Structure 1
Amino acid sequence: MKQQFKPKQIAQICAALALLNPALFTFAQNSPTTVIVTGSRFEENLNQVPANVNIITREEIENSSSNTIPQVLSQIGGLRVSGLNSSSLNLDASVDMGGFGPTGNSTTAVLVDGIRINPIDSGNVDWSTIPIDSIERIEILQGGASVQYGNGAVGGVINIITNGGKKNINQVSASYGTWGTSINNAIFRNTVEKTTFQISANTSNTNGWRPNTAANAYSIDAKIFQDLGGGDRAYIDVYYGYTNSKLASPVLGLVGSGNPLSVSPEDAGNNYTTNNLGFRQGLTKSMGENYIFEVDTSYNNKTSFYYTPQADYFVSLDPSDIYSYGYAGSPMNNKLQGWQLAISPRVKANFAGIGTTIIGYDFSKANQAGSSTYSPLSQSIILANQKDYYYYNNLTHDSQNATQINNSVYVIQKIPLSKVFEASGGFRRQVQQASTTSTSVYAANGTVNNSQQFAANAGDIALNANYLPGQHVYIKWNQSFRFPNVDEYWAFGTNPDGAYELVFNGILQPQTTQTYEIGGNWSIWKSKITSSIFKSMTQNEISYNPSTGANYNSIYQTNRGGILLDVATNITSSFNVGIGGKYQKSYYANGPYSGNPIPIVPDTLLNARANYLITSRWSVGGVVNYVSNQYYDSAPNYYSATPVMPSYVVGDIFTSYKFMGIEGRLTIKNVGNAQYSTYGTGMGRFSTYSYYPSEPRSVFASVKYNFN
């Protein structure tokens, strides 16, 4: 792998940033009155939360080199972000907070204003529906939080807060960069008496740096926030997002080999389109001095289309071709139509001498229907070869339909033991009913129906010591869980006639994870320090085997453990630096694969960022991320200690100048022009080494105008 930065240069790069690129604004300082909502779903002091929580402020986002939310999470939050289509728009980015590798995005709960936005399948969060200018702050909670949020809150929680204060913000921005990339944002937020109106929008387009990687995205979000007095408030938020992207094939070989600009002809023209719309609403109402009632409601409707123009690439009309003749191609048009409805009422009660009690109920119902149709040529082949070539029932399309209904109740209790110590604990019981229907051109047994009900429990116990203003330490145990995604009900396998095709896999059991954690948060010496040490054990882990195409519950336990540290310090009012990192091990704990690492999980993540205000108008800054080597994605029975995906260092630098209400900025991303990849496949029954190359160096020029 070619790369101008080498891992051994990290210290030199970080030092250079600290000396040359200090900060424009101060990093977020956790004062004794810092208030968050992610810890318990109610507002509370950060130092009362027994968890590792970091806050990314609006100012930090504005004064960084980040153009998208995934870039914010990686460059400021220090999280592990990966993707296949590495364009500047990060439309398919996934976040792995818990070291779960290929299923990391399914074990990270992503919220907007406390409301879950994760899809019910294994797809990625639709980041494009959240205009980056609408963000007031991002709260990142590391570790399990299924007591508060239920399914999927195993590795951590990302809560994107768009409910801002009454400060008026009216600004527009435009960026243009390499490969014809343009990113435009606007936000208009104004308060009239006790009513705040906010509308934000984004348009993004890129030609892509590789063939067949062009993409565009558009989103708009409109919100009304009403202050009802006495701490009572309500809001309604309506949004719409559209994306259209192409996906190039991987490069065959080890990372760094081959031609990253090459694209397999059978993948030429592949196109993926989504339409995503919905609403979110929330109400907070005081009921006397000691009770607070809150309720959230949300609805989402998403339609996705995947078009494969070369679906018949391997079709043969030659009878002498014994390998391909008589077989149809792959589906040409694939459609997914899904919706989710959720409601979450909860109440918080403060009892003198006893503490705080939170009781809540979560209900959600979701459905996703999928259909796959074949080209006219393949349809004629299917109809002409009934039974002889594994085609049945004169079907010319495949279809799947799945419904999930979730009901759960939870309780959280906090008991003050003294002025310093507070004990807390919680419990959640979630029951999921899942039902499916599927049929296929290969299904000799026609339509297959199935239904299943599973339940999972979450719990936590913690002791928090808030011994000084802005300083606390905690010790904690928790159990979290995740249910299978709807697409994990199906897999590639052998159908009743022996053909290797998409078949019903069965509804899998939920996985459970127990985590032991000790950590703390300290605001001292003009610095914010957050750190924790953790150890977790997972049973029934929901996994995918690339060599067999099967989704399954692993019968072997997997363990994870490590340490996190983040330090942000204000050296002076114009000079600020931050460093952070995570060291972790993710591995099989028993069975024939005992000691083998989980693929696509780097052991070490390091992050350094810094800004410097040269004058009142001119500033410079930068960020550097280091990711250690990791294992290619492969089945556990194909594990090999070598080769591995190599480590890499990626750095961005920028400079900006302000004049009155106008700000101009020049950003160089991947300034060292590192050639790297965040995802690659290893050897397997149907695969060989391949990787998706990430974007090389790019340059962006931006201008922002503030109307206030």
Structure 2
Amino acid sequence: MKPFSSSSWLASAALGVFALAPLTQAVAQAFSLEPIVVTASRSELLDTEAPFATEIHTWQDIQRSGATTLYDYLDRHTSVTVMPSYGNPFSQLLDMRGFGIGDGHQNIVVTLDGRRMNNVDMAPQLLGSVPLSSIERIEIVKGSGSVAQGDGAMAGVINIVTRQRDGASLSVAAGSHGLKLANLSAGLVREYFALSVSGEVHRHDGFREKDISGSKDQSSADNLQVQLRLFPVEEVELRAGKTRSWIDTTYGNSLTLKEFRDDPSQNRAGGTYTGQQFESHVTSFGSTVDLGYGLSLIADHFIEDKSSVYTGFGGSDYDYRSTDVAIKHQKNELLLMLGWQGFEGVREGSDNETSKDNTGVYLQGQYRWLDTLFAAGVRKEKVAYEYRPETGPSLKDDHKLTAWDLGVNHRLSQEVTVFGNLSQSFQAPDIDRFFNWGGTFNEFIEPARVRSVNLGFSHVTAYNKLKVTVFHMDLENEIYLEPITFANTNIDESIKYGLELQNQLQMTEQLRGSLNYAWVRAVILNENEGDGAYNGKDLPGVSEHSISLALDYAITDQSSLTLTQVWRSETWAANDFANEFDQKQQAYRMINLGYRHRLDQMELFAQVDNLFDQANGIWIRDDVIYPVNFTRTWRVGVRADF
């Protein structure tokens, strides 16, 4: 692989372009202000009027991006850090606001059409089961969302809303390393019903050399989603859905630094790869009823059965049941919502069952007075654990936790709004952390709590959409895995603070750009593990600076070029809590180039990822490096709309 240490020139140049672009340039089109929905059953607000930090990505943004998976899009076009979990391309880790690439995903609640995707154990949310073509909108809420979502919303919420459309589209693509993709999305909207279907087929031969058994890091995935909405009368909506996912993937092992530099595609001497077979079936039912007098009732129920089997390590079956019921009152400038949420999660192992059940009640409200919106909410939640072995006594315990949120948004002018938000959130330990191996309680772990302050403003004109947020977070008992003793425990005291900037700019009639920049500091103030060696040190796996940049140039009315760059600064390796390892997590660099050409109802596209052939990886500790996105790839395809 060719080192390209100067790749950040693109980001630096673009920052200058964004700063110096004249305000009088012609505008091709205005930016739309998409409403933000915290979940599918919550209230709607324009993103510029929200009393919390938001980041919205629409279907149009996704189509322009050239991304093929949800992971790709989040990594290249949002403020969320995304990296494969120990090299697993379909089980990727998420981080936002400095919780670290190792544990960040447990501090973000991810919902899909209102269904919570977080797991009862340490496994990350399976976003590989969501076809990118099915997504209407991605809503990222930062430093808020704990009242509506409860357990785990310490960093915020990622809410994914799928498309309801009348028509169909078919996309097929092929590329390097045996890549084959096919996506189908179709919908039918009539007076009394709306039906949508989406499907995805993904095949890949892998990037790494064969292991000693002859296996490649190949992968395959099939996803299918069907949703039906009925409108028997004007006041009632009934909905039902079915989602199925099948994933079979093999992923490579770690390398030493010398091996990584020599050839990141090689297999570690004598090593074998890890395989995972995953299957998920989700059934959903729901309804919304207009009761009159400004009252409405929203109810949804989700059933998820899934299994995960790792080669050589056995597997587990999961049974999730979740219910969300809310009654909403909206009249004039006042909105009140009272809700109840229940989640029952069971993991079945070879000789035991372990469960984590969450029950939460919340009340939240909004009131608009002239140009000011006030918001407040409170949540009480009980988290109950149980370990049931085939032989021996069962173990039970529980936690009772509280979250609250206060926010205000004020419009200073037609273009400018400011907001402030103060919240308290919590994260209850998952079942892997709460119980030790062998079925005993972990006496050294407590729920984590955080108080967050967010201040920000937005400036929106016909040609420019700018958002800036500063934040500060005080944490108690931040949950982590101590890398020396391998004990799941708490960081006694820690803080996180930073600045986030998002900007979309129509620079000329042909040139449009978007910039997403984050500066984050995550510091361990006090921790009794390591004999004080962690005190005052940076939380590992957190890049201080990160930039995602996109430039879209319209060559003609039918064709366009898109150039994107992702850059994250060097940081400490994931297990380096004492900040003393010889090897650091190297900076992440990736530049991509895409071309699209429209022909009536068809679109031809071509994409080159990692244009400059830069080697990237995840550093766990010295000489334990998992190669990711380490080679140039390409793909070509066609999409037809009907």
Q: Deviations over 1:550-588 (max 9, x none)?
A: 11123x211100000000122345421111200000110
The CA distance in 2 between the partners of 1:600 and 1:255, in whole Å, is: 22
Are the aligned partners of 1:536 and 1:561 in contact in 2 as well (CA < 8 Å)? Answer: yes
TM-superposed deviation, 1:228: 5.3
The CA distance in 1 between the partners of 2:84 and 2:580, in whole Å, is: 23
Q: Secondary structure at the match of 2:488?
A: strand
Q: Deviations over 1:492-517 (max 9, x none)?
A: 7xx8xxxxxx9764594211111011
TM-superposed deviation, 1:655: 0.8
Are 1:603 and 2:540 an aligned pair? no
Are 1:615 and 2:556 an aligned pair? yes
Match in the other structure for 2:418: 473
The answer to which of 582-591 and 256-265 deviates more is: 256-265
TM-superposed deviation, 1:254: 7.1
Are 1:698 and 2:637 an aligned pair? no
TM-superposed deviation, 1:116: 0.9
Distance 1:27 1:178, change over 3 A: farther
User: Which of 228, 247, 252 is equivalent to 1:248?
Assistant: 252
Are the aligned partners of 1:251 and 1:693 in contact in 2 as well (CA < 8 Å)? Answer: no
Which residue identity does 1:513 align to in structure 2? V
Q: Secondary structure at the match of 1:540?
A: strand
Distance 1:98 1:436, change over 3 A: farther
Task: Give runs of aligned pairs for residues 221-300 of structure 1, distance below 5 A.
Answer: 221-227=225-231, 230=234, 232-253=236-257, 256-264=260-268, 267-300=271-304
Unpaired runs of 5+ in structure 1?
A: 19-24, 309-332, 372-398, 440-445, 496-501
Q: Secondary structure at the match of 2:412?
A: strand
Match in the other structure for 1:379: none
Are the aligned partners of 1:547 and 1:635 in contact in 2 as well (CA < 8 Å)? Answer: no
Are the aligned partners of 2:260 and 2:627 in contact in 1 as well (CA < 8 Å)? Answer: no
TM-superposed deviation, 1:174: 1.0
TM-superposed deviation, 1:633: 1.7
Are the aligned partners of 1:4 and 1:674 in contact in 2 as well (CA < 8 Å)? Answer: yes
Match in the other structure for 1:578: 514
The CA distance in 2 between the partners of 1:187 and 1:506, in whole Å, is: 49
Are 1:335 and 2:280 an aligned pair? no
The answer to which of 357-366 and 191-200 deviates more is: 191-200
Q: Deviations over 1:640-668 (max 9, x none)?
A: 17532221321110112122222111100
TM-superposed deviation, 1:611: 1.1
The answer to which of 357-366 and 470-479 deviates more is: 470-479
Which residue identity does 1:659 align to in structure 2? L
The CA distance in 1 between the partners of 2:412 and 2:328, in whole Å, is: 25
The CA distance in 1 between the partners of 2:467 and 2:489, in whole Å, is: 36
Q: Secondary structure at the match of 2:261?
A: coil
User: Which of 397, 402, 405 is equivalent to 2:354?
Assistant: 402
Q: Secondary structure at the match of 1:257?
A: helix
TM-superposed deviation, 1:695: 3.3
Are the aligned partners of 2:35 and 2:45 in contact in 1 as well (CA < 8 Å)? Answer: yes
Are the aligned partners of 1:98 and 1:154 in contact in 2 as well (CA < 8 Å)? Answer: no
The answer to which of 90-99 and 605-614 deviates more is: 90-99
User: Which of 169, 173, 176 is equivalent to 1:175?
Assistant: 173
Task: Give runs of aligned pairs for residues 78-117 of structure 1, distance below 5 A.
Answer: 78-84=79-85, 90-101=89-100, 102-117=102-117
Q: Deviations over 1:162-193 (max 9, x none)?
A: 142xx423111111111101111111112233
Are 1:540 and 2:489 an aligned pair? no
The CA distance in 2 between the partners of 1:58 and 1:64, in whole Å, is: 10
Distance 1:46 1:16, change over 3 A: closer
Match in the other structure for 1:666: 606
Match in the other structure for 1:652: 592
Match in the other structure for 2:212: none
Q: Secondary structure at the match of 1:251?
A: coil
The answer to which of 240-249 and 71-80 deviates more is: 71-80
User: Which of 336, 339, 347 is equivalent to 1:357?
Assistant: 336
Higher normalized contact order (CA 8 Å, seq sep 6+, divided by chain length)? 1
Q: Deviations over 1:563-616 (max 9, x none)?
A: 000001223454211112000001102352222011111111111102122112
Q: Deviations over 1:348-405 (max 9, x none)?
A: 213557x32211111111100123xxxxxxxxxxxxxxxxxxxxxxxxxxx3421122
The CA distance in 2 between the partners of 1:411 and 1:122, in whole Å, is: 29
The CA distance in 1 between the partners of 2:466 and 2:16, in whole Å, is: 22
The answer to which of 476-485 and 447-456 deviates more is: 447-456
Q: Deviations over 1:35-69 (max 9, x none)?
A: 22117822233343211112111111111121100
Distance 1:113 1:506, change over 3 A: same
The CA distance in 2 between the partners of 1:405 and 1:503, in whole Å, is: 18
User: Which of 436, 440, 449 is equivalent to 2:394?
Assistant: 449
TM-superposed deviation, 1:437: 3.2
Which residue identity does 1:194 align to in structure 2? Y
Match in the other structure for 1:499: none
Are the aligned partners of 1:30 and 1:523 in contact in 2 as well (CA < 8 Å)? Answer: no
Are the aligned partners of 1:256 and 1:676 in contact in 2 as well (CA < 8 Å)? Answer: no
Which residue identity does 1:74 align to in structure 2? D
TM-superposed deviation, 1:486: 1.7
Match in the other structure for 1:42: 43
The CA distance in 1 between the partners of 2:436 and 2:484, in whole Å, is: 12
Are the aligned partners of 1:198 and 1:224 in contact in 2 as well (CA < 8 Å)? Answer: yes
Match in the other structure for 2:366: 414
Match in the other structure for 1:306: 310
Distance 1:103 1:547, change over 3 A: same
Match in the other structure for 1:65: 66
Are the aligned partners of 1:452 and 1:507 in contact in 2 as well (CA < 8 Å)? Answer: no
TM-superposed deviation, 1:412: 0.8
The CA distance in 1 between the partners of 2:38 and 2:175, in whole Å, is: 36
Are 1:629 and 2:570 an aligned pair? yes
Task: Give runs of aligned pairs for residues 190-205 of structure 1, distance below 5 A.
Answer: 190-205=188-203
Match in the other structure for 1:594: 535
Match in the other structure for 1:328: none
TM-superposed deviation, 1:466: 2.7
Distance 1:338 1:548, change over 3 A: same
The CA distance in 1 between the partners of 2:52 and 2:593, in whole Å, is: 32
Match in the other structure for 1:443: none
Are 1:434 and 2:385 an aligned pair? yes
The CA distance in 2 between the partners of 1:255 and 1:150, in whole Å, is: 44
TM-score by length of 1: 0.83
Distance 1:266 1:362, change over 3 A: farther
TM-superposed deviation, 1:282: 3.0
- Aligned-residue sequence identity (percent) comes to 19
Distance 1:435 1:47, change over 3 A: same
TM-superposed deviation, 1:85: 5.9
Are 1:185 and 2:125 an aligned pair? no
Higher strand proportion, which one?
Answer: 2
Q: Deviations over 1:139-162 (max 9, x none)?
A: 111123211111111112111101
- Greater Rg over alpha carbons, structure: 1
Aligned residue pairs total: 622
TM-score by length of 2: 0.91
The answer to which of 565-574 and 244-253 deviates more is: 565-574
Which residue identity does 1:674 align to in structure 2? Q
Q: Secondary structure at the match of 1:548?
A: coil
Q: Deviations over 1:91-114 (max 9, x none)?
A: 121211131111101111111112
Distance 1:447 1:3, change over 3 A: farther
The CA distance in 2 between the partners of 1:356 and 1:224, in whole Å, is: 28
Are 1:675 and 2:615 an aligned pair? yes
Which residue identity does 1:271 align to in structure 2? G
Are the aligned partners of 2:11 and 2:565 in contact in 1 as well (CA < 8 Å)? Answer: no
Q: Deviations over 1:267-322 (max 9, x none)?
A: 425311000011223322222142122112111111011112xxxxxxxxxxxxxx
Which residue identity does 2:604 align to in structure 1? G
Are the aligned partners of 1:252 and 1:258 in contact in 2 as well (CA < 8 Å)? Answer: no
Q: Secondary structure at the match of 2:14?
A: helix
The CA distance in 1 between the partners of 2:415 and 2:200, in whole Å, is: 37
Distance 1:645 1:254, change over 3 A: farther
The CA distance in 1 between the partners of 2:180 and 2:126, in whole Å, is: 19
Unpaired runs of 5+ in structure 2?
A: 19-26, 210-215
The CA distance in 2 between the partners of 1:487 and 1:614, in whole Å, is: 53
Match in the other structure for 2:6: 6
Distance 1:201 1:72, change over 3 A: same
The CA distance in 1 between the partners of 2:81 and 2:247, in whole Å, is: 23
Which residue identity does 1:126 align to in structure 2? L
